[in-house]
Chains A and B, each alone.
Chain A
Amino acid sequence: MRRLAVFASAFAAASLGLAAPAVAQGNFPSRQITMIVPAPPGGGTDVFGRLLAEIAEADLRQKVVVENRGGAGGTLGVTQMVAGQADGHTIAFVWNSPLTTSPHSLQVLYTPDRYAAVMSIGFSSYTMCVRPDFPADNGQAFLAHLKANPDKYTYGNDGVGGTMQLAAERIFAAAGVKVRAVPFGGAGETARNFLGAHVDIYGGSLPPILPHAQAGRAKCLLLTSADANPALPQAAGLASLGMAGEETVLWWGLIAPARTPRAALDRLEAAFSAAARTERFREAMAAQGATVRVRGAAETAANIRDELEALGKVARALGIERKAQ
């Protein structure tokens, strides 16, 4: 499979008449690597990216410099990366939204053909929680109650057209329920409005709501991942509801400009996969409610294409898909 991929990329490069810069095994990386993080400093993605860079530096024997380029839901940073030099020294550490979610609501200047997946490091599920007086105590009863009361309840999400909203709507469509979406600026704002009883359902990442679930102020009943999460024992994974195929999670990975030589991609994949598997990195992920699940280049690329297509369907159904100009 790997060999086939090497042949395929070599063939593609040759047929396009583009001589890929010669990267012999062993002399990559030859200078410092720039890792673009398409988010402002200080958030989860930035922290993971910096830690990963720091661990991988020892293996790569070169500095890995993080460059934050936030804005437009991560799409500005990805746009900058795909225009970078395709020699392996420009990479981006991204979360999935600018790759599989934003292209549906924004006129982004790239498609999956413009970048190569290097690997992905792991994921974090979204959860849906209600206040203790809600008349359901498990995932199945939660969806059944919503189904019996269409458009009665409101749920807060991370932003219109964002991954959390599309993840939720994907499940709602499959279960045949209708809940009114109220977009907020992020999970913290959603949590505040949920705890203050301004919206009925919390929809967002685990960390902001976890302490309140533990203190009995929130009942978390559903996860957007296939599997359950030990931190929220009451929340059902989608597999247990027979909807494993509808999983949409927040995940993180490494991408490089398209036409980056295979040898460089392989070297990066090996170094960053090893870094993601270290105990130090696992602990940092766990602290933010995320799980390490290292996936290689081929699997990550396939995942991106599937998710892009599935979320495109949801966005079209919601009517938030961008209009072609």
Chain B
Amino acid sequence: MGDSLGHLWSGFGVALSLKNLGLCLIGCLWGTVVGVLPGLGPLAGMALLLPLTFGLDPAGAVIMLAGIFYGAMYGGSTTSILLRVPGEAASIVTCIDGHEMAKNGRGGAALTIAALGSFVGGTLSIVGLMLAAPMLAEAMLKVGPAAEAVLMAMALTVVAFVSSGPPIKTALMILVGLALGTVGLDQLTASPRFMFGSLELVDGLSFVALAIGLFGISELLMSLDERLSARPKTPTLAELAPTRAELAEAAPAVLRGSGIGFVFGLVPGVSHIVSTFVSYALEKRLSKTPERFGKGAVAGLAGPETANNATTGAAMIPLLVLGIPAIPATAILLSALMVHNVQPGPLLLVERPDVFWGLVASMYVGNAILVLLNVPLVGVFVSLLRTPMAYLAPAVMAICVIGVFSVKASGFDLAVMAAAGVAGYLLRKFGYDVAPLLLAMVIGDRMEVGFRRALTISQGDYGVFLRGEAVQAFLGVLALVLALSLGAKLLGYRRG
């Protein structure tokens, strides 16, 4: 511990040099921009600036790129709250209650709470990274295909909580999501599924295109319908800050969200998305007023927004300790380091302490920069709502198109986005909630692949889903959650 502090001190020496501070600022600014713009996510943002890092030293290169990564997690909430267009995949859940808050005239408060929650979640996850990285990396390795399948099955059971619609409609949306997730070349046998001979569908339906279509484009279509559209109210300057009651409701959700985000961040793959709705479901379960979820509950915004930032510190662990990126964004960090002949992995701490501790320190600095940057920007962003819809809607549409096109330069994806927009509009008019569809699509794919990989390894023995420390830990948590909710139900009956 004392040792860590000493190293951290020297890390701040690296991070606070004028050049690295500047690079951190550039990364955070650019990250905020790509986070705010729908479609453009941290991945595209980092890839765009990657060539610029070739001329930097390795510490400066990762400091800047990491800044984009966690900066995007801050920016992602802005359009979700104000326009119900998810800025990136981890902000889908934020659309639900965040946008409702904006409609109630609490948009400024929502943005401020998102920024503060992001700061707490991001900072706590760096503390976790700093104190326990090697130990957590070993724990992470215990999560194999079987454990991943069990975890995803758990996640699927909580998707239902995200929706406030009738259960039968939610179940239908989950089924459609699971079905859409099967499109593409099967990852275990290479057989085509629902591809209709098109190479465009080999990798499956584009998640970004569907998300932007189902949320963003459908929202724009809804706004054309005068009877349905409730424009978010523009708050006055005095209404920008969260009230004491709102902060009191947010605080415990932020702390729980930090824990959930950090733990899920250790699980490779789609953890940043999963963590957001697990947090949402938990807040809804614990809330004394679950009926307010979906209508602008502060905890339903604060928990998930914190959780997606708390995954960032955890996601760095496998990269830095094992040299293995667990998500695409950290794969770009790996590329940047390798160009400079720095090999992350077990020897990084010994060979390049300046890179490791410089990065850790810069993440503290960056999170501070981001909260200082984002809170004053709240007023600017909120004033966007004063723009008449006649100007705002085409601009948002253009940004959505550019964002989706930037992912793969695919015209096909734009068609998917447009179709998803119309489908989303119709679904929402008939009272279906589209969030469970998207979440089920992501989870179903991972669950199926994990399930079949585990059975390939075990040669068809289903006992593989009961063995192993990670599997048993996840099953234990599942049992606990079920027991608690059953207990709550019984108590509830007695109370009633």
Contacts and interface: CB of A to CB of B under 8 A. Distances in A.
Interface of A: 40-44, 46-47, 50-51, 54, 67-73, 75-76, 79, 105-109, 154, 159-161, 180, 182-185, 188-189, 191-193, 195-196, 198-199, 207-208, 210-212, 214-215, 217, 283-284, 287-288, 320, 325
Given A107-B199, A188-B325, A320-B190, 4 more contacts: A40-B328, A42-B332, A195-B322, A283-B341
Contact of B47 (A40, A180, A217): A40
B337 to A, nearest CB: 9
Contacts of B144: 193, 196, 198
Interface in B422-481: 453, 456-457, 459
Contacts of A46: 47, 335
A192 B268 contact: yes
A76 B434 CA distance: 30
B347 A192 contact: no
A135 B284 CA distance: 53
Given A42-B331, A198-B144, A211-B347, A154 B457 contact: yes
B145 interface: yes
A191 B324 contact: yes
Contact of B457 (A79, A161, A198): A198
A43 B324 contact: no
B142 interface: yes
A68 B409 contact: yes
B248 interface: no
A67 B409 contact: yes
Contact of B338 (A189, A192, A195, A287): A287
B141 interface: yes
A85 to B, nearest CB: 17
Contacts of A50: 51
A71 B203 contact: yes
Nearest to A200: B457
In this complex, the member of A71, A160, A185 whose beta carbon has the largest number of chain B beta carbons within 10 angstroms is A71
B142 A196 contact: yes
A207 to B, nearest CB: 7
A105 B396 CA distance: 40
The 6 closest A-B pairs by CB, nearest first: A211-B345, A41-B47, A198-B144, A196-B141, A72-B202, A42-B332
B338 A207 contact: yes
B203 A72 contact: yes
Nearest to A79: B199
B326 interface: yes
A215 B332 CA distance: 24
Given A42-B332, A208-B324, A287-B341, A72 B199 contact: yes
B122 interface: no
Contacts of B202: 71-73, 75-76, 106
Contacts of B245: none
Interface of B: 43-44, 46-48, 50-51, 54, 140-145, 185-190, 197, 199-200, 202-203, 268, 318, 322-326, 328, 331-332, 335, 338-341, 343-347, 408-410, 453, 456-457, 459
A43 B331 contact: yes
Nearest to A320: B190
A72 B200 contact: yes
Contacts of B143: 196
A40 B208 CA distance: 15
Contacts of A107: 197, 199
Given A50-B51, A68-B409, A211 B46 contact: no
A89 B345 CA distance: 41
A160 B50 CA distance: 30
Given A70-B408, A288-B338, A75 B199 contact: yes
Contacts of B50: 41-42, 47
13 contacts: A42-B43, A42-B50, A47-B50, A69-B409, A71-B200, A76-B408, A105-B185, A107-B199, A182-B145, A189-B268, A211-B346, A215-B345, A287-B341
Given A47-B339, A283-B341, A182 B199 contact: no
A103 B44 CA distance: 28
Contacts of B408: 40, 69-71, 76
A238 B43 CA distance: 38
A112 B329 CA distance: 34
B141 A192 contact: yes
Contacts of B459: 180
B199 A43 contact: no
A325 B325 contact: no
Given A69-B409, A105-B190, A287 B340 contact: yes
In this complex, the member of A46, A72, A79 whose beta carbon has the largest number of chain B beta carbons within 10 angstroms is A72
B141 A195 contact: yes
In this complex, the member of B43, B140, B190 whose beta carbon has the largest number of chain A beta carbons within 10 angstroms is B190
A287 B339 contact: yes
B331 A188 contact: yes
A185 B187 contact: yes
A211 B331 contact: no
A217 B325 CA distance: 18
A217 B188 CA distance: 28
B331 to A, nearest CB: 7
Contacts of B199: 71-72, 75-76, 79, 106-109
A50 B457 CA distance: 39
B205 to A, nearest CB: 12
Contacts of B332: 41-42
Contact of A160 (B46, B188, B325): B188
A71 B185 CA distance: 12
Contacts of A196: 141-144
Nearest to A180: B456
